[in-house]
């Protein structure tokens, strides 16, 4: 699975002029399931995301995770948005290919699973809407933008 994590001061998703997801300080997480991904990759990605230490501590060093933004227990929000274009392959020309992305039904299944697991593990989770035209607004804090990838593990042939 792929994710693009942006540390934000605030972010929101709008569909047909209605805000469907909004957070204050936290992470805007664009997520893409690739072919071969399973729930195991979703679990690993979420675990890494929740432990990602990119918020500043009292000394201004990126040392705090989203679950402890200020070192005193303040929790940030997660705004999770499906984004199949993260799987774009651009080496073959000027028009990206998205063949590495999971099929839509599998992508939705893994996105929904990822969101459910995030909601079970974190108190503030908002989302976009799968396979929908969305307007995503954010104020990137820093700016800090981190690409993440958790690849499927090869099968054991034995």
Catalytically active residues, by annotation? 83-85
In terms of Cα–Cα distance, which of 139, 90, 141, 132 is closest to 111?
A: 132
In terms of Cα–Cα distance, which of 128, 146, 148, 158 is closest to 41?
A: 148
Phi then psi dihedrals of residue 50, to 5 deg: -70, -20
Using CA atoms, how far apart are residues 89 and 146, in angstroms rounded to an integer?
Answer: 19
Please, which residues bridge with residue 97 across strands? Answer: 89
């Amino acid at each position: 699975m792929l994710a693009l994590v942006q540390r934000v001061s605030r972010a929101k998703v709008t569909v047909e002029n209605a805000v469907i997801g909004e957070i204050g300080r936290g992470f805007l997480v664009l997520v893409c399931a690739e072919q071969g991904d399973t729930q195991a990759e979703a679990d690993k990605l979420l675990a890494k995301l929740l432990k990602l230490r990119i918020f500043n501590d009292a000394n201004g060093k990126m040392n705090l995770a989203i679950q402890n933004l200020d070192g005193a227990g303040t929790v940030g929000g997660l705004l999770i948005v499906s984004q199949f274009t993260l799987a774009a392959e651009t080496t073959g020309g000027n028009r990206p290919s998205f063949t590495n992305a999971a099929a839509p039904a599998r992508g939705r299944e893994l996105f929904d699973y990822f969101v459910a697991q995030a909601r079970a593990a974190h108190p503030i989770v908002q989302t976009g809407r799968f396979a929908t035209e969305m307007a995503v607004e954010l104020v990137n804090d820093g700016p800090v933008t981190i690409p993440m990838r958790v690849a499927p593990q090869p099968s054991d042939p034995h």
